[in-house]
Amino acid sequence: MEIINRELIDFKERKFPEKICFKPIGKIHTPFKSLKGIPIQTSMSNTKGIIEIFSEFKSGLIDLIGFSHLYCLYYFDMVRLPVPLQSKPFLDTESRGVFAIRTPFRPNPLGLSILKILEIKENEIHVDNVDILNNTPILDLKPYVPQFDVIKTDKIGWLKGKIKRKVS
C-alpha cells in the first residue's frame, strides 16, 4: 500500500486521544431478534445472515469474494456501561477477567466474529456461522488469512476442557 502524506496526520500533531469515535459502515441482518438463543461463537453456529454495507462504502467490497472468511468487527449496541471487570463466562462457573473472556460486556463493547462468505451481491454480503444480534452496527470487515491468523496452540487457560457446543 502506498502511504501518502495526505492520509496521515503529522507526527507533531499526534496526541493521545481521550475518545475515539467511529461511524457504522453497515448493519447485519440475522434471524436473532432477541439475546436468547444466539450461538456463543461463530464456530458453534450454522445460521446465515446478510451484512448490508451502506452504499457509500460499497466500492470497498471489491475482491472480498475471493476469500473464504472475513473478520467482522461490530458494536454490541445493547450493552450498558460501565460493565463489571470480572464476570462468569458461559462456559465456566467461576468469575474471570473481562479480557480473558469473550463476553459482549466489555469496557469497549467491540465484537469480533469470523464469518464464512457465501456470496456478495451489490452491497450485501451473505454470510454463514452468524452469532450476532439482528440490526447490529458493523464497524469494519477484514479478510481472514490463515497464513496471518492461524495460531497453533493448546494453551487456552481456563477454557481447557470446557468447550462444548452451546447457545446463549
Residues 115-134 contacting a second copy, CB under 8 A: none
Please, what is the minimum distance in Å from the beta carbon of residue 142 to a second copy? Answer: 6
Count of CB atoms within 10 A of residue 56's CB?
9
Rounded distance, CA 161 to CA 91, Å?
Answer: 10
The three grid cell numbers given for residue 37, joined into one nine-digit string: 438463543
When binding is defined by CB under 8 A, the residue of 37, 107, 122, 166 that contacts a second copy is 107
Binding residue for a second copy, selected from 48, 50, 52, 64, defined by CB under 8 A: 64
One-letter amino acid of 153: T
Q: Of 101 and 130, which CB lies nearer to a second copy in the complex structure?
A: 101
Q: Which three cell numbers stand for residue 142?
A: 477484514
91, exposed or middle or buried, with CB in 10 Å at 0-12, 13-18, 19+?
A: middle
Site for a second copy in 129-168 (CB under 8 A): 135, 137, 139-160, 163, 168
- Residues that bind a second copy (rule: CB under 8 A) add up to a total of 95
ω into 82 cis (within 30 of 0): yes
Q: How far is Cα 90 from Cα 64, in angstroms, rounded to an integer? A: 33
Q: Is 101 in the site for a second copy (CB under 8 A)?
A: yes
Q: In the window 44-63, what residues touch a second copy (CB under 8 A)?
A: 53, 57, 59-63
Q: Name the minimum Å distance from CB 132 to a second copy.
A: 14
> For residue 122, with 0-12 CB atoms within 10 Å meaning exposed, 13-18 middle and 19 or more buried, which class applies?
exposed
Report in angstroms how near the CB of residue 93 gets to a second copy at its nearest: 11
Quick one: which of 12, 14, 93, 121 contacts a second copy (CB under 8 A)?
14
Q: Which is nearest to 45 in space by CA: 64, 24, 69? A: 69
Restricting to residues 65-94, name those near a second copy by CB under 8 A: 65-71, 73, 75, 77-80, 83-90
Least Å distance between CB 161 and a second copy? 11
